[in-house]
A and B are shown apart, each in its own frame.
Chain A
Amino acid sequence: MEFPDVVTMAVPAFVVLIVIEMVAWRLSGRGDYEARDSAASLIMGLGSQIAPLFGGAAIVAAILFAAYEFRIFEAPNTWWAVALCFVVDDFRYYWWHRISHERRWFWASHVIHHSSQHYNLTTALRQTWTGAVLGALLFKAPLAVLGFHPLMLAFVGGLNLVYQFWIHTEMIGRLGPLEWIMNTPSHHRVHHATNPRYLDANYAGTFILWDRLFGTFIPEDQDERPRYGIIKNLGTFNPVKIAFHEWIGIARDVVQARSFREALGYAFGPPGWSPDGSRMTSKMIKARAAKFDADKIPASDLQSLPAE
């Protein structure tokens, strides 16, 4: 059994689907498809394919092949082993994705994918330029030790990535019984939302079952439309700033830390952690929202403040 590069094979389909979504978006009167945001997302996607060529891909391959040498079992090269590998890898993805939201060091890479205030198929391609090596070392290498061949792992990882492309859209509503098992556009809209009640939810790649199993599932509420982006939305479309802004933030905080413990907290604590609590973690934001009921703005409030 050979393992093709499914991501590269899917690129023409990505382009066609984006064109269809752009036109459908316009025809359905949903507003404009932000050109600068889309350009930034597409360039980030292109960069994410180029960045590994500077050494990351070789290191990841070396890690996985080395780990495979210490395999406990040996998955045969059969369709059912590939299917099993896909499910196990999706479980791996859930935890990798979850830690990518819960620890700032990993968030520094993943934040790129969430940094658009729009949610469309180009957002799917807004991918990180950093972080692959540590992810492979901590989360993929154990699968190679279990006995899945690195090429099989690369293949199912690619399939997972391709699957996740089409769920980045507002054009598709709910999908009936599929919503129970699969990650869908509805579930993933919640994941990309910054509404306090939607934070830290729906980490699944392909199977939403993991979120249901581990208590991180939140369904989309038809009465509360997701607001996309990050807690501190970026004021730039510059791809380099998008790619490295959180790393720069970590470096600045660590340099200014008053103790080793503080430095560790800034680098490996939850995003938004600060020693004096002056910044907001997602838990603090949820607590604040519960207090202020931020999502319901009385119309009267909009005219009540003095302005010059």
Chain B
Amino acid sequence: MVDAETKKMTGNLLFDLAISLGAVALLVVLSVLLGGLRNAEVTLDSAVARARLDEPDFEAEEWLIDREGRAAVAVSGKGEALLAFAVGDRIATRRVLLQSVAAAADGKSLRLAVKDSTVPVFSLAAKDTATAMKWLGHFSGPD
């Protein structure tokens, strides 16, 4: 008797779960069809504007803007960097110490990572290899 009751409850739960997943899928598909997959473009204007809102006391000396518009990074004279990156159709930022950024360059591409699971590892396409190497120097420090 208990087994039958347990089976019925489990069945109801699974039915509710299936209905709920169906509703979630329906809503997500609808939002996609309505144009909900647009990505924010990170430009100098949008990155600076966001930086001024999130970190108004960060004094950027120089910006590197990803040529594909996915991310940007700025450095200050105080040993800090400001990362700005697209999250869907919005931009998020992180202010970090230069020494906490793991950086690597591959040709024109500069790859940046920080120890924060909520910040994606991202690549910035610089205009040329020399620029990527120069920026790599910001994170690697003097030899």
| Residues of chain A having any CB pair with chain B under 8 Å | 8, 11, 15, 18-19, 22-23, 25-26, 31-39, 42-43, 46, 49-50, 53, 117-118, 122, 227, 229, 231-237, 241, 245, 248, 288-289, 291-295, 297, 301-303, 305-308
Q: Do the beta carbons of A46 and B90 come within 8 Å of each other?
A: no
> Given the known A-B contacts A23-B34, A36-B37, A302-B44, are A294 and B53 also in contact in the complex, defined by CB atoms under 8 Å?
yes
Q: Which residues of A contact B57 (CB under 8 A)?
A: 288, 291-292
Q: Do the beta carbons of B118 and A307 come within 8 Å of each other?
A: no
How many whole Å from A271's CB to the nearest CB in chain B? 14
Task: Say which residue of A26, A39, A297 sits within 8 Å of B52 (CB atoms).
Answer: A297
Q: Which residues of B contact A229 (CB under 8 A)?
A: 90, 92
Task: Say which residue of B13, B21, B90, B117 sits within 8 Å of A241 (CB atoms).
Answer: B117
Q: Do the beta carbons of B117 and A301 come within 8 Å of each other?
A: no
Q: Do the beta carbons of B36 and A32 come within 8 Å of each other?
A: yes
A301 to B44, CA, bound (A): 11
Q: Do the beta carbons of B48 and A32 come within 8 Å of each other?
A: no
> Given the known A-B contacts A15-B26, A46-B20, A245-B118, are A308 and B31 also in contact in the complex, defined by CB atoms under 8 Å?
no
How many whole Å from B65's CB to the nearest CB in chain A? 5
Number of B interface residues in the complex (CB < 8 A): 50
Does chain A have a CB within 8 A of B27? yes
Q: Do the beta carbons of B126 and A308 come within 8 Å of each other?
A: yes
Does chain A have a CB within 8 A of B105? no
Task: Say which residue of B24, B49, B62, B89 sits within 8 Å of A42 (CB atoms).
Answer: B24
Q: Do the beta carbons of A305 and B20 come within 8 Å of each other?
A: no
Q: Which residues of B contact A25 (CB under 8 A)?
A: 34
How many whole Å from A150's CB to the nearest CB in chain B? 20
Closest to A228 in B: B90
How many whole Å from A215's CB to the nearest CB in chain B? 26
Q: Do the beta carbons of B87 and A117 come within 8 Å of each other?
A: yes
Does chain A have a CB within 8 A of B17? yes
Does chain A have a CB within 8 A of B32? yes
Q: Which residues of A contact B81 (CB under 8 A)?
A: none
Q: Do the beta carbons of A233 and B36 come within 8 Å of each other?
A: no
Residues 8-43 of chain B, each 1 if its beta carbon lies under 8 Å from chain A, else 0: 000001001100110110111011101111100000
Besides A35-B37, A38-B31, A308-B127, 4 more A-B contacts (Cβ < 8 Å) are: A19-B27, A33-B31, A39-B28, A236-B118
A293 to B53, CA, bound (A): 9
A291 to B56, CA, bound (A): 9
Task: Say which residue of B36, B92, B117, B120 sits within 8 Å of A245 (CB atoms).
Answer: B117
Q: Which residues of B contact A292 (CB under 8 A)?
A: 56-57
Does chain A have a CB within 8 A of B129? no
Q: Do the beta carbons of B20 and A11 come within 8 Å of each other?
A: yes
Task: Say which residue of B28, B49, B118 sits within 8 Å of A302 (CB atoms).
Answer: B49
A255 to B32, CA, bound (A): 42
8 shortest A-B CB distances, which residue pairs? A35-B36, A294-B56, A292-B56, A233-B92, A35-B31, A117-B90, A307-B63, A42-B24
> Given the known A-B contacts A236-B87, A308-B64, are A32 and B52 also in contact in the complex, defined by CB atoms under 8 Å?
no
Q: Which residues of B contact A232 (CB under 8 A)?
A: 92, 94, 118
A8 to B23, CA, bound (A): 13
Does chain A have a CB within 8 A of B45? yes
